[in-house]
């Protein structure tokens, strides 16, 4: 799926430096997101993927570089149709990987939420949440020998 768009810098020496940097960032960002997708597909929780920080840095770099080349991108692309095709392909790959990344992150977050909900439900069940109160306003934990008689919920 991913092409190594910036594989041979000598092929692109004539291209504007900012446009070349944009291509490199797009390519690396796609690689980082692709790795994150692999980790999420293996079941790693979204909150612990090691790629998140680098992905954030690259996304910020992408935004800054795009601002820098936005005005001149049409001319750069017109001057070098081969580079234009490479950049368009790299951005298309990035969009496809980013869409998969969003779907996988949503699924991972939902799975984490389900795990937390299950753990909380187990804790509530174990703690006796919802047990009836006696006439004195205390829960009737005395009849549950595992809890003890001096325990108040």
pTM for this entry: 0.68
Q: What is the pLDDT of residues 6-53, one digit of tens each?
A: 444 444 444 578 889 999 999 999 999 999 999 999 999 998 999 999
Quick count: other Cβ atoms within 10 Å of Cβ 25? 23
Could you report the per-residue pLDDT of 58-87, keeping only the tens digit for each? 999 999 998 878 777 777 778 888 988 999
CA distance 24 to 27: 5
Helix (H, G, I), strand (E, B) or coil at 77: helix
């Amino acid at each position: 799926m991913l092409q190594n768009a910036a594989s041979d810098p000598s092929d692109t020496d004539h291209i504007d430096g900012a446009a070349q940097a944009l291509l490199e960032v797009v390519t690396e960002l796609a690689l980082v997101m692709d790795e994150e997708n692999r980790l999420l597909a293996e079941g790693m929780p979204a909150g612990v993927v090691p790629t998140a920080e680098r992905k954030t840095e690259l996304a910020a770099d992408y935004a800054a570089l795009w601002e820098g080349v936005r005005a001149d991108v049409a001319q750069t692309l017109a001057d070098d149709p081969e580079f234009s095709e490479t950049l368009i392909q790299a951005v298309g790959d990035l969009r496809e990987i980013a869409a998969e990344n969003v779907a996988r992150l949503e699924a991972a977050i939902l799975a984490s939420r389900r795990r937390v909900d299950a753990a909380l439900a187990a804790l509530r069940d174990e703690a006796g949440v919802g047990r009836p109160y006696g006439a004195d306003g205390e829960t009737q934990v005395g009849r549950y020998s595992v809890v003890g008689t001096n325990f108040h919920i």
